[in-house]
Amino acid sequence: MTNFHNLKTRFPAILVLSLVCGGPAAACSCIAFTGSTLDRANATDKVFHGRIVDIYKDRRRPGIWIDFETGAWWGDGVPTDEVTVVTSNAGCGLEELEIGAEFIIYANKRDGELRVGACGGSTRHVEAERARLGTPVHDLGLQKRKRSPAEAAIVDGDVGALGRALADGADPSEKTPDGRLADLAIAKCDVELVAALAAGGGKSHPASVFRCPQAQWARLLEAQDHGSKFLGQAMAKSVRDGPIEQIHALLAAGADPDVDIPRGGLDTALGAAFRHGKEAAWKLLLSRGAEIDRRALAGAAASESEEARKFVLDAQLNADDASYVMQRSPAHPEVVSHLLALGARPNGMPRMRTPLLEATIRRGWESAEMLVYAGATPTQGTLEAAVSNDALGLVRAMLASGIRPESQALLLARQPGHELILRAFETVGGSAVDATPD
């Protein structure tokens, strides 16, 4: 993953390398170099082993800028202990850019700068490339990265040293090349380290504790004291694809079972559990008092579980709430029929995709047909989708509503396998249907 700060202004250190690439596709479209690694090195102005110490953007110049500290150098020229590279993207041999990553860089002089070409040979496979390059001409000794006192204490598992570092002013939210301090503490599954950082505001995402043994989840969550809203939001991933034990742990730590989860404010944990078919999750949330509001019912309406959909079928909603649920989840015919009976508007509510379009996207052809007969307004797009999927009943419903096929729908109907739909088009008459295709 490429990490960089937005709009950081600074001057490059000593050397400037411009990486010239046309994009990810170009990076993978190189003509194979037929010579040896040494031949490539001899044909390159600068070859060095470097470690990334910073990645950032510059307000005044385009591209992503990367600072390297250097160690071994091959070939002619005077080595320098720092180099800055500018790249137009994160491809061309410099994939997986991250602070602390090491590369062998091949750079050539052009237009007064050292540039790294798309197919120049730069690689993250350092050990293999160094073996091919042989003994370097210069070796500045790329040293192991020096850790801050707080980071060193966490790596060593020394709670006392961490406390002293924090007392001396260490930032508990410090970001290191290996991650934030809180993430490093979580990775060690050490409750005391985590609690010491959290006391100063250094916290990791609640879901990160699930990398530790299950027996420690509750204590690690308690040590960070995230608050009910943040804990509730962490349930989004657990509801989708985590084991039920994660939801138990989050609820036990104080997660709000009714919290909105990150989906544009349109879902709750209960709604997501319904939508993703996580029966154990939605039953647990209901047992903890989760509210069955219209967002939750929209999730239940989309569920493949009859037991979940029954919550919708048993609900007595007003016309607005019925319209909302149908607009978001119109795929199941029995749900659509019930919501229409409650007064749901066939064309839905403003500023949302229409129920007919949603049903078409989800290939709920029976529901879509029901909506059209109830008064939903079809479009050429929904007609073309029905033709493409040979949904004859829906096509007939749309034609009965008054829509007439235009050129794209006619072209699709003339394809093999759509003879009945073409015949249905012919019954509505019009020169467009009878016209000979180009």
Looking at the structure, tell me whether residues 135 and 186 fall in a common domain. no
Looking at the structure, tell me whether residues 23 and 119 fall in a common domain. yes
Q: Which of 47-61, 90-104, 124-138 has the lowest mean pLDDT?
A: 90-104
pLDDT at 263: 55
The two three-digit tokens of residue 373, written as one number = 């007969």
Residues 257-263: what's their mean pLDDT? 73
The pLDDT of residue 73 is above 60: yes
Residues 156-163: what's their mean pLDDT? 92
Looking at the structure, tell me whether residues 405 and 438 fall in a common domain. yes
Q: Output b/e per residue, 248-267; b: 16+ Cβ within 10 A.
A: bbbbebbbbbbbbbeeeeeb
What does the alpha-carbon distance between residue 255 and residue 231 come to, in Å, rounded to a whole number?
A: 5
Looking at the structure, tell me whether residues 131 and 155 fall in a common domain. no
Q: How many CB atoms lie within 10 A of CB 213?
A: 10
Convert the pLDDT of each residue in 16-28 to its tens digit. 454 444 344 444 4
Does residue 372 form part of some domain? Answer: no
Q: How confident is the model at residue 102 (pLDDT cuts 50, 70, 90)?
A: confident
Q: Tell me which residue range forms the domain holding 203.
A: 146-225
Looking at the structure, tell me whether residues 158 and 204 fall in a common domain. yes
Looking at the structure, tell me whether residues 109 and 220 fall in a common domain. no
Residues 383-407: what's their mean pLDDT? 91
For the whole prediction, is pTM greater than 0.85? no
Residues 397-424: what's their mean pLDDT? 91
Name the residue with higher pLDDT: 108 or 423.
423
Convert the pLDDT of each residue in 116-129 to its tens digit. 766 778 888 888 89
Q: How confident is the model at residue 391 (pLDDT cuts 50, 70, 90)?
A: very high
Name the residue with higher pLDDT: 144 or 11.
144
Number of domains present in the structure of the chain: 3
Q: How confident is the model at residue 10 (pLDDT cuts 50, 70, 90)?
A: very low
The pLDDT of residue 183 is above 60: yes
Q: How confident is the model at residue 297 (pLDDT cuts 50, 70, 90)?
A: very high
Does residue 5 form part of some domain? Answer: no
CA atoms within 13 A on the CB side of 198: 22
Looking at the structure, tell me whether residues 44 and 71 fall in a common domain. yes
Does residue 25 form part of some domain? Answer: yes
- What percent of the chain is predicted at pLDDT more than 70? 82
Looking at the structure, tell me whether residues 128 and 46 fall in a common domain. yes
Give the residue from 225, 243, 263 where a domain finishes. Answer: 225
Give the residue from 97, 116, 139 where a domain finishes. Answer: 139
